[in-house]
Amino acid sequence: MLTAACKFRNKSGLASTTRVMPFFLSTSATVTPLCPPPSPYPSPHFRLPYLPRRGLAFLAAAASPRTLPPTPRQAMASLATSTAAAAAAEVTHLSQRDAADIDEQLMGPLGFSVDQLMELAGLSVATAVAEVYKLSEHTRVLIICGPGNNGGDGLVAARHLYHFGYKPFVCYPKRTAKPLYSGLVTQLESLAIPFVPVEDLPQDLSGQYDIVIDAMFGFSFHGAPRPPFDDLIQMLVSLSVIGDSAKRPPIVSVDIPSGWHVEEGDVSGGGIKPDMLVSLTAPKLCAKKFTGPHHFLGGRFVPPPISSKYGLELPPYPGTSMCVRIGKVPSVDISSLRENYISPELLETQVMPNPFDQFRTWFDEAVTAGLREPNAMALTTVNKAGKPSSRMVLLKGVDKQGFVWYVKNHHFKQLSIHSNEPPKNLFLMPSLGLVQVHKLR
């Protein structure tokens, strides 16, 4: 009598369902070699018969949809971002002038509108944030927006983060009276996203927010920051000096760490030290001085005429991603890797009476969700001396009579299936968050 939880996420990674997989325990064991399957799967293959279950129980070990493990697609994307990181040294860095020129070209002869570019830029920021800062641990996001397009990127990112499940708060002290900006504000208001006046912000932001997004100034910044941005920048500087990163919200800077010289970086050394920088279109020269753990590129809209004119060397975006990591991949603290589970109940009445039917339904969902090789499973047997051994096999069929999988001929002898100890079929689908164990007696 065994159960397991499984979680599915759709291709976008934004919607999910959580299920519980019943395990079943049969009463006898027979393993019948079947007819040799056609190449490329050498014979024999085996069928574990389905025998009536003695009992069935369900564990409610469902996870929050917002804390799901990455899908294989995302895992592949991460792999691609790692590969891209290796090429980070070759990424082009733009001068302030080239950045402004590219802006003009895009919105002139190349036919883009500022709204389009801002939407894509803000979406890149939101997706990069979501890739690094998981919702389960970073829910409340303060976005501080400046008066120009950098601030507009922040407003767009706030909307996308809301739709991703985060709880954004926006500080937008110098509003621009253009339809584009007032439209963005109206959109946020319609989502009931709070606008926080500067004077209502606590001096120490660490208690109220889990992430702070700096969307104050981008590549058009020059001189010394004027009020109220001077104080806002100082607030972020004070956050940066809290040594223990676990005790403060990470700072994410959009395109340029606000207050930094666009080409020379943090000239005084007393500026913001963001944990994450999302460069847009291409990194600006100041990004060479960025030392935080997460450097991403966003703004997936650069057409070939711009790339060739400015000799841009930029990493490819993986798959359909709106962002790509360009910095060094930070080393992971393995002990900190964990999934936070909440435990809503799943009742026996909610699942199919026949575990094979339930398995088939969830398996089909897994395939539809685009999971890679969901039919991979580990088969564990114990030899006569009591020594267990496991190997990965591929499920090749399932029906009311049992599971069918293939192993290579010479591996058959090693299966020890005819030993006294009953075989255990461990169906492990870590990418699904699903584990199934089938034990036969």
Ligand X SMILES: NC(=O)C1=CN([C@@H]2O[C@H](COP(=O)(O)OP(=O)(O)OC[C@H]3O[C@@H](n4cnc5c(N)ncnc54)[C@H](O)[C@@H]3O)[C@@H](O)[C@H]2O)[C@@H](O)CC1
User: Which residues here bind ligand X, judged by CB under 6 A?
Assistant: 99, 102-103, 106, 117-118, 121, 146-153, 217-226, 229, 254-256, 280-281, 299
Parallel, antiparallel or unpaired: strands 140-145 and 211-215: parallel
Give the per-residue contact string, 209-238, with K ion (x = CB under 5 A; - = no).
Answer: -----x------------------------
Query: Distance between CA 153 and CA 117 in Å, rounded?
Result: 9
Residue whose pair of structure tokens reads 């020129």 in the numeric block: 101
Annotated binding site for (6S)-NADPHX: 149-153, 218-224, 255
Query: Distance between CA 101 and CA 306 in Å, rounded?
Result: 10
Parallel, antiparallel or unpaired: strands 294-298 and 276-280: parallel
Nearest approach in angstroms of CB 170 to K ion is 14
The nearer residue to ligand X, 185 or 394, going by C-beta atoms, is 185
Residue type for position 440: L
State the DSSP code for 284. Answer: B
Q: What is the largest CA-CA distance in the chain?
A: 80
Contact between 235 and 205 under an 8 Å Cβ cutoff? The reply is: yes
Choose the one of K ion, ligand X, none that binds residue 258, judging by a C-beta under 5 to 8 angstroms depending on kind.
K ion
The nearer residue to K ion, 13 or 257, going by C-beta atoms, is 257
Query: Distance between CA 389 and CA 378 in Å, rounded?
Result: 10
Q: Which residues have C-beta within 8 Å of that of residue 158, sequence separation ≥ 6?
A: 122, 141, 143, 168, 170, 188, 193, 213
The nearer residue to ligand X, 219 or 359, going by C-beta atoms, is 219
Nearest approach in angstroms of CB 239 to K ion is 15
Annotated binding site for K(+): 150, 214, 258
124 touches K ion (CB under 5 A): no
Nearest approach in angstroms of CB 259 to ligand X is 8
Nearest approach in angstroms of CB 95 to ligand X is 13
Binding to K ion (CB under 5 A) within 236-265 occurs at 253-254, 256, 258
Choose the one of ligand X, K ion, none that binds residue 214, judging by a C-beta under 5 to 8 angstroms depending on kind.
K ion
CA distances from 8 to 64, 313, 400 (A): 11, 37, 24
Annotated binding site: 149-153, 214, 218-224, 255, 258
Give the per-residue contact string, 172-211, with K ion (x = CB under 5 A; - = no).
Answer: ----------------------------------------
Parallel, antiparallel or unpaired: strands 16-22 and 32-33: unpaired
Nearest approach in angstroms of CB 233 to ligand X is 10
Nearest approach in angstroms of CB 100 to K ion is 16
- Closest residue by beta carbon to ligand X: 218
Backbone angles phi, psi at 81, to 5 degrees: -70, -35
**Which pair of structure tokens corresponds to residue 143?**
């976005």
CA distances from 331 to 58, 82, 102, 318, 328 (A): 38, 11, 35, 21, 9
CA angle 218, 219, 222 (to 5 degrees): 95
The nearer residue to ligand X, 102 or 277, going by C-beta atoms, is 102
The nearer residue to ligand X, 46 or 181, going by C-beta atoms, is 181
- Nearest alpha-carbon partner for 177 in 151, 147, 150: 147
The nearer residue to K ion, 152 or 402, going by C-beta atoms, is 152
Q: Which residues have C-beta within 8 Å of that of residue 226, sequence separation ≥ 6?
A: none
Nearest approach in angstroms of CB 172 to ligand X is 13
The nearer residue to K ion, 256 or 395, going by C-beta atoms, is 256
The nearer residue to ligand X, 44 or 292, going by C-beta atoms, is 292
Nearest approach in angstroms of CB 283 to K ion is 13
Q: What residues make contact with K ion under the rule CB under 5 A? A: 214, 253-254, 256, 258
